């Protein structure tokens, strides 16, 4: 059984919004590509995104 990465990303964003957190850190995977990030930006789920490199690559999503 595989892991549903997209659902995990959306759940993390929803949980951060409910807890009034301003940012969400998401690990970079093959699924977390520029196209997924662009869709989240276009649909208003996130306000901005920054890619960071520290041992492993990850994204910071900034919520509106």
- Can you give the pLDDT of all 64 residues of the chain as single tens digits? 457 888 888 888 899 989 988 888 888 776 666 678 888 889 888 888 888 777 777 777 788 7
| Predicted local distance difference test score (pLDDT) of residue 2 | 53
Give dist(CA 45, CA 28) in Å, integer. Answer: 18
| Predicted local distance difference test score (pLDDT) of residue 1 | 42
| Predicted local distance difference test score (pLDDT) of residue 42 | 92
Residue spans of alpha helices (H) in 1-64: 5-18, 34-42
What is the CATH classification number for the domain harbouring 41? 3.30.1370.30
| Predicted local distance difference test score (pLDDT) of residue 3 | 76
Domain holding 43, by residue range, is 5-62
**Do 49 and 61 meet the contact criterion of CB atoms below 8 Å apart?**
yes
Q: Domain tally for the chain?
A: 1
What's the CA angle centered on 37, arms 35 and 38, to 5 degrees?
Answer: 65
């Amino acid at each position: 059984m595989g892991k549903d990465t997209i659902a995990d990303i959306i759940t993390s964003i929803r949980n951060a919004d409910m807890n009034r957190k301003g940012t969400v850190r998401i690990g970079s995977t093959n699924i977390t590509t520029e196209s997924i990030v662009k869709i989240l930006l276009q649909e208003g789920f996130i306000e901005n995104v920054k890619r960071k490199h520290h041992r492993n690559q990850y994204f910071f999503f900034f919520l509106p």
